[in-house]
Each structure stands twice: as C-alpha cells, then as structure tokens.
Structure 1
Amino acid sequence: MDLLELVKTVNGVLWGYLLIFLLCGTGIFYTLRLGFVQVRLFRKAFRKAFGELNLFGKRADREGMSSFQALATAVAAQVGTGNLAGAATAIAMGGPGAIFWMYLAAFFGMATNLAEAVLGQIYKAKDDRGQVTGGPAYYISQGLNMRSLAAFFSISIIVALGFIGNMVQSNSIADAFHTAFHVPPIWIGIAVGAVGAFVFIGGIGRIASVTEKMVPLMAGIYILGSLYILATHIGAIPGAIRAILVGAFNPAAATGGLIGATIREAARYGIARGLFSNEAGMGSTPHAHAVAKVDHPVEQGLMGIVGVFIDTFVVLNMTAFVILCTGVLDGKTTGIALTQKAFTSALGSIGNPFVAVCLLFFAFSTIVGWYFFGEANVRYLFGSRGLPLYKAAVVGFIVLGSTLKVDLVWELADTFNGLMVFPNLLALIMLCPVVAKAVKEFESQGRE
C-alpha cells in the first residue's frame, strides 16, 4: 500500500465514522447538559448578532475586536468552498436525505460552538507583545494543564489550516477562474497571495476590517442569486423538501433509484459534510471568539450559535435547494461541478462566472480566517517572533496551491483536520462544568 492509499484508509476511518460519532456525541452531550441552550437563547443570540452588525466598526487593536468582528472572522472561515461543494457532495453520494442529517448535525453543533466560544473567552491570554489571543491550545494548557496536548493541537491546526488547508482554498479559486475565464492558475495564485499578504501584514486590525465587510457582502450576493433561482423554480420547492425528508429514511425512493444510497450513507455523508463545513467541535472558530471584547463569555457564545446557523441553515442550505430544484442531480456529477451545473442550468451563461466569483469570496475569506487561527497557535508556540516566517510560509503555500493538484496533499488536509479534533473534544468534555457554570451565571443575571 502506497502513502496515498494509506492516508485515504486513515481518513476513511476518521471521517467515515469515528469523528462523526465523537463530534455529534459532543453536540448531543452539550445540548442535554445545557438544556437545549441553542433553542432557549436563539432569539437573544440573533438580536445580539444583527443588533451589532456594522460594516465599519471600530478598528481592532491589541485588546481584541468587537463581538461582531469576531463573529465575522469565525464565519469567514466556516463559510468556504464546503458550502458550494460540501452540500453537492453530500447529495450526490447520500441522496437528498443527506441534507436532513446535515441539519441535525448542525443543530447539535450550535451547542458545541457555544461551548468553544465560551471557553475561548474564559481562557484567553496575552502574548509577549500584549496582543490578546486564545483558542483551544490555551484552554487545554490552562484548563487541563496538558501543555504537550496543547502543543500537539497547535502544530496540527497550523499544518491543517494555515498551510495545507490554504493550498486547497487557492487551488479551488484557481480552478474556478480557469474554467470560467481561462485565466492561467499561477496568475490567480500570485494575485490571491499578494492580496492575502496585504491583509496578513495589517494584523488583527486589518483582518477584522476585511471580514466585517466581506462576510455580509459575500453571503448577501450568494443568497440573492440563490433566491432568484428558487423564485423561478418555486414549483419545485415542495418536491425538494419532500425529497429531503423522505430521503433521510428511504434514499432510493427520494431519487427513484437514481442514487443507490442507504440510510447509513445518507447519514454519513450528510453529517460529515455538515460538520466539515460549520467546523463545530473542530477547534478552529474559538480563536476568533476568544479575542472579542465582551462583558461576559456567554455573550460571545451566543455568536457561536449564530455562526453555525448562518453556515449550514442559510448558506449551505441555499446550495442544496438550488441543486434539488433545478433537477440537475444525475448520479454522476458531484462536488463543485454539480453546483456549477445547477447554477448554469438556471442562470445560463452567467452561471459559471457567478459560481466562480462566489467561490473567490468564500475561499479567500476562509484563507483569511484560517490564517488568523494558525497565527494564534504560532503565538502560543513561539510568541510574536514566529509570525514573520509564518506569514511568508502561508503566502508561499497559497501561490503553490494554485498550481498543484496532488491528491496526497488534499488527503493530508483531511487527516490533520481530523487529528486536531481529538484534543479539542477532550477539553470540551472535561471543561463542561466551566461552561455550564458560565451559562447559569449569564442567565441568572438576566443579561441581554
């Protein structure tokens, strides 16, 4: 067995069953332990998120960023190519019913994401230059006193997101623009790398400024385009809903046998793609939530609920309904190609360019978010002295990624993504009393 096949086998175990069980189990555990907090505090969470929406908020500094800027930075990472390709892959492999299981995973994931954000806030720290920072490495080392495990997490996320993950994102942008506009991939890589370097060099202030504007803009464009398609295919919406509900428990009936998926496959692909997209429990978004300027940790935990909701129930859901309502599911096409086929079917010649532009926004916002998450872990391991080399390395990987299509690199990204989950979930379970105490205190004070 060569290295590629070995890594594929490992990923099959990690993402096929093990991580699905652990991530969903943690979400169910927190949902029950916190009394369905994502339902009880849902209205309060949305009032806070949209009450603080501001495209030109106060510039972030070494003391952190605003609560909305932190949410935007988290969503920037959550809403990525997975929202265009993830739903398509789930439907193509597991049938329309996979979307039902995606919803279920996201529902429980909202409780997990709240817990991550709360812990990020409670255990945040300052680096050697007085810059506020935080994330799982900090609550693993401070809350559990497991410094070696925290270091393992930090190394995993730097490799998974900062380096390999951002190669995947730049490759997706280059592929889409080469297909839509016939631009050589290397030029796209250089352009994305240059803009990325400009953002990274500006530090937390520029990152927050970019995400607070980019996230509402990119989500708005994609949602409006999708709603237009759904409006022109409004008669197909009831059938799409029926296919999702029936397909969750009888995949063959939902597609007339077009996709030979079982309930097990529908659940597996739906849950896996959903978790991979919204990142609940993976330990990435707490880095953004940790640096928010809030009066109480649970205030930012509410933003964690909103982040998962926007990613799965809004943006990713749009992709799913466009695919199902345009009737392009053929049992052969999958991934981003299926999404492009759906938009082209509805929008004609502008379909491919529309998807390419949306992909640019989605993937670049993810690059910014993932860079920031990796930076927090470089600060944890090496302090601020490690940042110049990290910035240069990320830009190099962005440019390199636009030119490569190496299966091993993509499989390794999944592997390192999986590896960083274990330390984070261990901390989430062991520090549950800390989260529960914070939520109880927050509610007893009647905070808004």
Structure 2
Amino acid sequence: MQQINDFLLTLHSYLGGHPWFVFLLLGTGLFFTLYLRFPQIRYFKHAIRVVKGKYAKEDDEGDTSHFQALATALSGTVGTGNIAGVALAIHLGGPAALFWMLVTAFFGMTLKFVEITLSHKYRDFTSDGTVSGGPMYYMRKRLNMKWLAAFFAIATVLSSFGSGSLPQINSISNSVFATFGVDHVITGIIMALLLGFVIIGGIRRIARVTEKLVPGMALIYIIGAFAVIAYNYNNIGPAFAAIFTDVINGTSAVGGFIGASFAFAFNNGVNRGLFSNEAGQGSAAIAHASARTKEPVSEGLVGLLGPFIDTIIICTITGLVLLSSGVWSKKVQNEFQETDIVVLDRQYDPSSEADHQEMKNYLMEKGDAGMFTGTLNVVDGEIENKNTLLHARSVAEDVKVYKNANPYTGKIKVDAGMLDTQSGEIVLKGKSLIHSAPLTAEAFTKSYFGDYGQYIISIGLILFAFSTAISWSYYGDRSIIYLFGSKYVIWYRLAYVVAFFFASFTDTSIIWSLSYLTVVFMAIPNLFGILMLRKEARSTIKKYWFDFKKEFPNEKSPE
C-alpha cells in the first residue's frame, strides 16, 4: 500500500502538483476573464438578483431553485478546504499563499460561470424525471467526444469517494474523538445513517438539507472567526500587509517558519485555491444543472457567486484568523504525525546562516538534505542521538518518545529519514509548527472564547465535511446515471454510505493521494472542453442579454 501511495504521489507531482497545471488553470481563467470582459465584476449585482429568484418563472423545468442549487454546490466546496486547506497553504507558502488563493478564486468566478452555462445548456432529463447534467453532457452532445465524457464521469465517481466521502468522515471522526472522546466507530455509524437518510432521498432532499445547512454552518464559523480577529485587532493591519507585501519576494523566516519563496507560495496558493472552490474542475456544474430555469446563462451567473463566497469571503476570514493570531509561525506542544517526521543525518545549527539556507532550500524543494539511516537510541523517552528532527517543516524541540503512554526506552529504526513507529505504537511529542485543521483550531483559541474556540472548529469541521459528502454523492450518482443508467444509482448510493462508514476508522492516506489525481483528471477535460466551446459560450451569453432586454425593458442591464 505504501508503494502504491508513493506511486500516486509521484504521478501527482507531474500532474496537479506541477507548475504546468497551475498555469493551465489560471491561464484559462485569465483568458475567459478577458474574452468575456470581466463578467465576475460586470454581472455580479445581476447574479445576486437571479439567486434571489427575481426572474424565476413558474413553468421553468428542473429539480431545485437557484438558491438550492447554489447551496448544494457550496456545500460541496465549503468544506475542509476552508478550515484545513487555508491553514496548509499558509503553513507551506506563508501569507502570500493566501493572495494566490484569492487570485485563483477571482479567475475561478469566470470559470464557474462558463462551465455551468455550458453544462446547463446540454443537460438531460432522466427516465425517473430528474435532471442530470455536467461537463460530460456537453462533451458528448456538443463536442461529440464520448470517450472524453466517459473519462470525466469515471473521474467524478472516483473523486466522489476520494474528495467527497472517505477523507471527510475520517476528518470528522478524528475531530470528534480528539475533542469529545467519542469512539471512531460510533461516529461512523451515526454519520453514515444520517448520510444515507439524506442522499437516498435524491436531489430534492439534498437541496432541502443543504439550503439550511450551508447558511447555518457558515454563520457559526464566521462568529467564531470574528471573535479571534477582534481579539487580535492590533495585528489585523500587519496581517493584511503581509498577504500582499510578501507576494513578490516571498516570506522571510519568522518564529518557527523557515521561509518561503515566491514560486512555492504561488504553487501552493493556486493548488489550495482549486481544492477550496473547485473552479475549473466541473463538479459544481453537476449541481447547478438541476436548477429550475430555461436560461443556462442565468444559472451560470448564480455559479459565479460560488468562488466569491467560498474563497474570497470564507477563506480570507480563515487567513486573517491564522495571521492575526500569530499561530501560523509559532511552535506549539503537539503529538507528531508520523508522515510529517523526518530525521536528518546531522545536527543543524539554526543560528548558522549556511545551515539555515540549506534547510530552506530543502523545504522549498530546491535542494537536498542528508537523510538519516540507522538507529535512534532512546532512554526514558529521551533521544540520545544528536540528529535534527523535522516535524511539520520545522525543527522539532523538546522531543519525547512514548510507547503505550509511557516514556520509551529502546531503539527506533530509521530508513532514509523515515521512522519505524511499530505500527503507531511509538509516539513522539514535542514543540513544532502544526498545520491543517489543528492549526486553525489553535488559532480559534486565541479569542474571547479562549479554549472553547476549538469546539467551534470541531463543530464546523463536522458540518463542513458532512455537507461536502452530501454534495459529492450527488455528483457521483449523476455520473453513474451517465455511464450506466438510473437503475444503478441505488447501488452507488449504498456503496457510498458503506465506504463512508468504514473510512471513519481506517487510514485514508491513499484515498487522499488518489483524490489529488482525480481532481486533475476532471479539470483537464473540462478546461479543454470550455476552451473548445469559447465562441459558443460568448454567443450564448450575448443571446441571454438580448432576450433579457426584450423581456425586462425597464431593468438595468450590465450589457
């Protein structure tokens, strides 16, 4: 399994983790922004009117209202990426990574607009009377590329497990266990039953749940976030400044943070931005295809609001929480994650400029540092070797070793810097940087709520992750309908719920690695498709505004 995981990560480094994919994503967004003359700015007010239902008609066909479609799509994107993804981006690239997340979201608004418009235009009505849509339909009907449509649908099914289901329940069960002490299996049973109740009812029940769940969970999260920002109001100015001033030159070393270059912040900011709002991936287009409207462009306009809400608002708030609280660059006492530990072959002196530069180059993936192979001698929890340990990309301090909660005495084998923890029986604790959801949870304690702030993150993570699982089940079942027909959907839903349960107490590392690839396998065909249909997208938009002016002559039009 480790070899398979390593292969998937290596493959990802040549695909989604490579700069060419970043430039493809941003380049396509930039192209359509210029080609359509900044629709994310010019059409913004009109999009808000559409989502309010101002132009809805009684004879419109579809399964959901504009707002329900937006809520369903947002429930798929407003998830762990907003809590853990922003924290990981800043942990890797510093404050400037947040800037690139925002840039990705700005161009992503146009990408969502175009992909949703085209997907809605070529949607189908299934034998059970529901709507089925998404990029696979315009690929088949308009581009006449059935093989590409099938490839996209298969990638969506895999991604529904890789992005939407298994890692989400794993995050939920780990958070509930850490905060409330509830066994992973118990959490899995309860959440799987709730998930089954929602998704087996189809899109109408999903829409009814998400239209209430999304505003509620966003409100809880924002209240907790502003409690942190207000508590640390003196740091808001420097936090904002760092987001923009670090863009050109990168972030210098501060606290436990060793530093980040322009390129590293850029790559990680864009990748985390895509993971957060899914613009260009084509997933949200599946949810928006269900909306009740005859005008594909009107639903595209609703989708344009998604990256704005998800990334420009919620991720910015998370970023300000992390930066104003200062926790992103501070070492804290924590239990080390095995996958984040690296043992170097010598002791590095942090006061040495040469050693610091070598360490920075290694962490920025621009140089090599010697990896230790051998044995660590441990006596009463203390490591006798003088080798430097890295945890979460920082030099670990005050490291103690435990086995079965007691100080450990014995030897630990190390192979190329990787520890043999005897299947998790040996645990290391100490001071280091932290990242992802634990970092955001730590930041939420630096507020008026104090230590109770971590419960907001736990509750938020549960709601965000659960809502993501709900929406991705719909994306997967529409893809099953496209590939095999409606009669197989119930089997997909059952498999989805069963896998959801088992993932609550098993390691999902390999699923995360697979999801990195399936995101790319969805995005590349979708970006290729909308570029091929660029002229049709523009003509469809022009026709919409022509018809709109005729039907609503007294309404102010942005065209």
Taking structure 2 as the reference length, the TM-score comes to: 0.76
**How far did residue 257 of structure 1 move?**
8.6
How many Å apart are 1:180 and its aligned residue?
A: 0.6
Which residue in 2 is equivalent to 1:31? 33
Which residues of 2 match residues 284-295 of structure 1 at below 5 A? 284-295=283-294
Q: Could you tell me how far 1:264 is from its partner in structure 2? A: 0.3
Answer yes or no: is the 8 Å Cα contact 1:95–1:254 preserved in 2. Answer: no
The alignment partner of 1:246 has SS state of: helix
Aligned to 1:400: 502
The one-letter amino acid of 1:24's match is L
How far is 1:321 from its partner? 0.6
* Alignment match, 2:4: 3
Q: Which residue of 1 aligns with 2:446?
A: 345
- Find the counterpart in structure 2 of residue 191 from structure 1: 190
Q: 1:257 and 1:214, CA in 2 relative to 1: closer, same or farther beyond 3 A?
A: closer
User: Conserved in 2, the CA contact under 8 Å of 1:189 and 1:399?
Assistant: yes
Could you tell me whether the CA contact under 8 Å between 1:62 and 1:130 is conserved in 2? no
Verify the 8 A CA contact 1:38 1:305 in the aligned structure 2.
yes
SS in 2 for 1:363: helix
Alpha-carbon contact 2:78-2:310 (below 8 Å) kept: yes
Report the count of equivalent residues: 442
Q: Distance in 1 between matches of 2:326 and 2:161?
A: 37
- What residue is the counterpart of 1:155 in the other structure? 154
Q: Secondary structure at the match of 2:291?
A: coil
The separation in 1 between residues aligned to 2:473 and 2:20, in whole angstroms, is: 27
Query: Alpha-carbon deviations, 1:255-298, whole Å to 9, x = none?
Result: 47933210000111111101111000001000011111124211
The one-letter code sitting in structure 1 at the alignment partner of 2:519 is N
Contact 1:246 1:254 in 2 (8 A): no
Check whether the contact 1:100–1:244 (CA below 8 A) recurs between aligned residues: yes
Pair 1:46 & 2:48 matched: yes
- Cα deviation 1:286-323 (Å, max 9, x = unaligned): 00111111242111111111111000011111111101
| Cα deviations by residue, 1:319-354 (Å, 9 ceiling, x for unpaired) | 111010111122621111111110123232212211
Contact preservation (8 Å) 2:170, 2:504: yes
Q: CA deviation at 1:223?
A: 1.1
- Cα distance in 2 for partners of 1:250, 1:329 equals 19
What letter is aligned with 2:510?
A: L
Any idea what SS the aligned residue of 1:333 has? coil
User: Percent sequence identity over matched residues?
Assistant: 40
Given that 2:228 and 2:443 are in contact with CA atoms closer than 8 Å, whether structure 1 keeps it comes out as no
1:163 deviates by 5.6
SS at match of 1:248: helix
| Map of 1:218 onto structure 2 | 217
Q: Deviations over 1:124-151 (max 9, x none)?
A: 1111222211001111111111111111
* Secondary structure class of the residue paired with 2:279: coil
- Residue matched to 1:71: 70
Alignment partners' CA distance in 2, 1:79 and 1:325: 22
Q: CA deviation at 1:25?
A: 1.3
Q: SS of the counterpart of 2:434?
A: coil
Is contact 1:116–1:428 with CA below 8 Å preserved after alignment? yes
Q: Deviations over 1:22-62 (max 9, x none)?
A: 1111111111111111111112122333x349xxx99xx99
- Cα deviation, 1:62-100, whole Å, max 9, x if unaligned, reads 931111100100001010101001110110100001111
**Which residue is equivalent to 2:116?**
117
**Equivalent residue number for residue 245 of structure 1:** 244
- Residue type of the alignment partner of 2:68: Q
Matching of residues 394-433 of structure 1 within 5 Å: 394-433=496-535
User: Does the 8 Å CA contact 1:162/1:373 hold for their aligned counterparts?
Assistant: no
Question: Structure 2: how far apart are the matches of 1:409 and 1:124?
Answer: 30
Superposed CA offset, 1:178-211 (max 9, x none)? 1110111111111111000000121121111001
Partner of residue 478 from structure 2, selected from 355, 358, 376: 376
Q: Aligned partner of 2:470: which letter?
A: V
Q: Which residue of 2 aligns with 1:126?
A: 125
Q: State the one-letter code of the partner of 2:47.
A: A
State the one-letter code of the partner of 1:217.
G
**Residue type at the aligned position of 1:344:** T
Amino acid at match of 2:498: G
Partner of 1:270: 269
Give the whole-Å Cα distance in 2 for the aligned partners of 1:259 and 1:68: 44
- 2:542 — aligned with what? 440
Residue 407 of structure 1 deviates from its aligned partner by 2.2
Displacement of 1:243 in angstroms is 0.8
One-letter identity of the residue aligned with 1:410: W
- Do the aligned residues in 1 keep the contact of 2:252 with 2:260 (CA within 8 Å)? no
Matching residue's letter, 1:224: I
Report the structure, 1 or 2, having the larger helix content. 1
**2:283 partner SS:** coil
Residue in structure 2 matched with residue 209 of structure 1 by the alignment = 208
Q: CA deviation at 1:419?
A: 1.3
Q: Which amino acid aligns with 1:67?
A: H
Residue 4 of structure 1 deviates from its aligned partner by 1.9
Which residue identity does 1:87 align to in structure 2? V
Structure exhibiting the larger radius of gyration computed from Cα positions = 2
Contact 1:151 1:381 (8 Å CA) reproduced: yes
Question: 1:342 is matched by which residue type in structure 2?
Answer: A
1:230-379 → structure 2 map (5 Å cutoff): 230-253=229-252, 255=254, 258-330=257-329, 332-346=433-447, 347-379=449-481
Q: Is the 8 A contact 2:249 2:262 kept in 1?
A: yes
Residues 94 and 259 in structure 1, CA contact (< 8 A), matched pair in contact too: no
Give CA deviations for 1:396-425 in whole Å, capped at 9, x if unaligned: 111111111242222112112221212111
User: Quick check: 2:224–2:444 contact (8 Å CA) kept in 1?
Assistant: no
User: How far apart, CA to CA, are the structure 2 residues paired with 1:116 and 1:306?
Assistant: 13
| Aligned-partner Cα distance in 2 for 1:406–1:216 | 29
Partners of 2:79 and 2:465 within 8 A in 1 = yes
Distance 2:499 2:258 in 1: 37
TM-score (norm. length: structure 1): 0.94
The more displaced of 378-387 and 159-168 is 159-168
Structure 1 residues 246 and 425: CA distance shift in structure 2, 3 A? same
SS in 2 for 1:2: helix
Task: Quote the residue 2:332 is aligned against.
Answer: none
- What CA RMSD, in Å, does the superposition of the two structures yield over aligned residues? 2.0
Given residue 109 of structure 1, which amino acid in structure 2 is its aligned partner? G
